[in-house]
Structure 1
Amino acid sequence: MTLEPRVLQPSEWDDWYGALLSAFASEDSSQEREVYRSLTEVERSIGVWDEDRPVATAGLFSFRMAVPGGAVVPTAGVTMVSVAPTHRRRGLLRTMMRRQLDDLRAAGEEPLAVLTASEPAIYGRFGYGLATHSLSARIDTSRVALQLPAPLAAEADGLRLRQSDEAASLLAECEAVYAQVVSRRPGMLQRRPGWEREPLLDPERDREGASPLRCVVALRDGEPVAYARYAVKMCWSRTDAADGEVRLRELEALDPAGYAALWRFLWGIDLTTTIVADNRPVDDPWQHLVSNPRRCGTAVGDSLYLRPVDVGAALAARCYATPVEVVLEVEDTFCPWNTGRWRLSGDEKGAVCEPTGDAADLSLGVRELGSAYLGGTSLTALAGAGLVREERPGSGALRATAAAFADDVQPWLPHGF
């Protein structure tokens, strides 16, 4: 029996979404279901049906993502991908990945595709490379001090903090800050209407005894300059000593003073001895303000995977830290229209990337290009792994191109999709 994907119809959404939950052995709340129903772009969602039963799902979100140089580029967010256990190993996933990328190429509007992977081993064969990492931490605030430089502490003292036990009540202030920070860090997603609700999802089953989501905002002259969303889980030792946790969900700031004021607030919450943060940028500045980094329980994990849909348009959409003039020979077996030689000419103001017949300076796969695209993975490191090749050793092309691709901050995905 031939099973082919087709576009989802609005009336089929509940069954389609149910198939996704079943494949992940998951459940949802009424709030989650309502939010994701509203966010689903039905016309960009596909499924495979076996008679009247959906057995595979996949969708796309229409994002705009920050890239090096500050541009916010149209990007397809691959989402809600599943195959029922009864229909594995029939090529359904490959067929859906093929359909998505062919449709994206035909539309010609989004040069990049991104996803987060439940199983990272799956998506490399479709050209997705690991482009961002995330930092997690479990900070023992009873033994680690937050040490702010005196001028920064004084400036933080001048801010007014406003706190609410209901995170949604400060939504407008938070979104005003978030909208201004997006372009500062590659990998961040501009929030389209409706997406401001996603970070507020707070199903009780995931709280593990913690409070509902709370929020604190730092204000300067009445204007928000930073916000943090967090929950508190109260714990008590056998001796009735308080041993609670602060669970940080989000923290964004327009300047160091706002950033410092909110970390100091979190550090000082009564009856707590731990701050738990599960998704922070790898270069998060608090790491330089602690008295004992060994007691901060940090770990780094994979986050966003990226692949160029159109190599030329993707490379021309970002800027470069230093002037670059290089011919890249790209191999892309899954999207062969990208295979070939591309001349990239660019600097901090912009770039041009076009096909060329000139000899290549560097050779690499599209997966490696995706990993390096946001500036978080060095082309030199990939060359050390044998994944990028300098065609004329000693020419300096690798070093120069790696420097151009780098960015002054690490890329980061603020929330999943």
Structure 2
Amino acid sequence: MTTDLRGLAKDEWDAWYRQLDVAFGGVPESDDERELWRSLTECARSIGVWDGETCVGSAGAFSFRLSVPGGALVDAAGVTMVGVAATHRRRGILTSMMRKQLDDVRALGEPVAVLTASEPAIYGRFGYGAATQQLKADIDTARVRLSVPPGTDDVALRYAQPADVHEACEALYARAVPGRPGMLARQPGWERLGLLDPKDDRDGASPLQCVVAERAGELVGYARYRVKPEWDFKGPKGVVRLGDIEALDPAAYAALWRFLFDIDLTSSVLAGNRPADDPLFHLVSDVRRCDVTVRDSLHVRLVDVGAALAARTYRTPLDVVIEVDDAFCPWNAGRWRLTGDPKGASCDRTDDAPDLALSVRELGAAYLGGTTLTSLAAAGRVRELRGGALTESSLAFGSDVAPWLPHGF
């Protein structure tokens, strides 16, 4: 059966997106959610595979700016909306879309591609490595207490309509982006994501609510959440479902969490996406009753190894030759001399003897500083070819702040 892989025309979007709906189970999204994704889709960066008039494969990319260690924002392709019809599996459609997409990313000069994987086992063969983690916490607020830092009582809290304070909250979010690798600088249109509130997705919870933290009239934090009322014979046991929370300082952060813990008629807070080093877990009295689980989040693929490694800084001075294996993007394969420190870096081709050898997948996993090269080496994924090179490089690649992706795409 012959298929046609081509760029997406605007008038093909409905058929293209319908195929994606079916690939992800066939449950249609709300009109508001569908309209948002239609407005954000970059048709010039989207691919469809067609069997006659039927779309049987889809893939897209968003034009992002990704925070990396050192605070720089790097151009990155946000790979998204990838799906293949079950009727057309095992015919090379996914591979052909990944091939086309990475060639296009390279042509655009973006050194990095990123994605969140519905099935993480799929993308390693295309060079993507799991670079960040997210924590989920289901906190028993009836039994867990908070120990808050000095100044918490000086923070004023007030309810606000999410749309009324949205611009100020977005400005606060933008201030946080350079300080944590893995965050995305929100491009025009993406600010709408935080206000998306489809009624069908609430599962009995309230509409989106917002509380802001202020000091001397200045916004210093915010939390967006929903409350799901629940009762049994013993009384109320409602759940606070946290959407997102940001704060400029420890006191504001603690004040917001104390508010969430104290909402009337609730006995738990469910936080679905928190960074691996969330300071919340140093404030709680009993982390065991926070029921913390961890999963992979952002997967990173270096499309231009030299440009990507030169775009970030390194925690300690480093001069290392890395031999990279990259079968899917062979222009990356070979030896690279990486020289860097906390102020900057360069990465160029070299014929010098290698100090480390690894695949581009492992390089992507370590890129944001959340996965150590030493742990990858312990799994046999990195080979040390010069004594001491592994420890030196692992330390330099690390980040003082855990990388984290605050929202999907």
For the criterion TM > 0.5, the same-fold answer is yes
- Give the letter for the 2:60 counterpart: G
Q: Give the distance between the partners of 1:141 and 1:57, measured in 2 at CA.
A: 43
State which drifts further: 214-223 or 63-72: 214-223
Residue 185 (structure 1) aligns with: 180
Tell me the residue number matched to 1:98. Answer: 99
1:416 aligns to 2:408 (yes or no): yes
Show the counterpart of 2:394: 402
Residue of structure 2 in register with 1:111 after alignment: 111
* 8 Å CA contact retained: 1:173, 1:217: no
Q: TM-score, normalised by structure 2?
A: 0.98
Can you list the C-alpha shifts for 1:62-101, whole angstroms capped at 9, x where unaligned? 0001000000111000000010111111100000000011
Q: Summarize deviations over 1:292-326 as a string: whole Å, max 9, x none.
A: 11111000111110010000000000000000000
Residue aligned with 2:328, SS: coil
The CA deviation string for residues 272-298 of structure 1, in whole angstroms up to 9 with x for no partner, is: 110000100011001001111111100
Match among 162, 167, 180 for residue 162 of structure 2: 167
Amino acid corresponding to residue 97 of structure 2 in structure 1: M
AA matched with 1:64: R
Q: What SS is found at the alignment partner of 1:5?
A: strand
Q: Distance in 2 between matches of 1:223 and 1:19?
A: 46
How far is the alpha carbon of 1:157 from its aligned partner? 1.8
In the aligned structure 2, how far is the partner of 1:230 from the partner of 1:11?
36
Q: Retained in 1: the 8 A contact 2:3–2:52?
A: no
SS at match of 1:383: helix
1:43 equivalent to 2:44? Answer: yes
Structure-to-structure mapping, 1:17-416, within 5 angstroms = 17-25=17-25, 26-108=27-109, 110-149=110-149, 151=150, 155-164=151-160, 166-239=161-234, 241-392=235-386, 395-416=387-408
Deviation string 1:336-359 (CA, Å, 9 cap, x unpaired) is 000000000000011000000000
Letter in structure 2 aligned against 1:63: F
Deviation at 1:167, TM superposition (A): 2.3
Amino acid at match of 2:68: V
Contact 1:57–1:81 at 8 Å: present in 2 too? yes
Structure 1 residue 33, shift from structure 2 partner: 1.1
- Deviation of residue 104 (structure 1)? 1.3
Distance between the aligned counterparts of 2:107 and 2:81, measured in 1? 22
The amino acid of 2:309's aligned partner reads: L
Q: CA deviation at 1:169?
A: 2.6
State the partner residue of 2:15.
Answer: 15
Q: Distance in 2 between matches of 1:141 and 1:100?
A: 46
SS of match in other structure, 2:401? coil
Task: For residue 4 of structure 1, report the CA deviation from its aligned partner.
Answer: 3.3
Q: Deviations over 1:19-42 (max 9, x none)?
A: 111111231111011111110001
Letter in 2 for 1:188: M
**Matched AA of 2:180:** R
Amino acid of the structure 2 residue aligned with 1:101: L
SS in 1 for 2:143: coil
Distance 2:4 2:50 in 1: 8
Aligned residue identity for 2:28: E
User: Which runs of no fewer than 5 residues in structure 2 stay unpaired?
Assistant: none
Preserved contact between residue 176 and residue 224 of structure 1 (Cα < 8 Å): no
Letter of the aligned partner of 1:117 in structure 2? A
TM-score, normalization by structure 1: 0.96
Identity %: 64
What is the alpha-carbon distance in structure 2 between the residues aligned to residue 68 and residue 76 of structure 1? 18
Structure 1 CA distance for aligned equivalents of residues 350 and 2 of structure 2: 41
SS at match of 1:80: strand
Instruction: State the distance in 2 between where 1:107 and 1:135 align.
Output: 34
Query: CA shift at 1:220, angstroms?
Result: 1.8
Please identify runs of 4+ aligned residues in structure 1 that moved more than 4 A: none
Equivalent-residue separation in structure 1 for 2:2 and 2:252 (angstroms)? 57
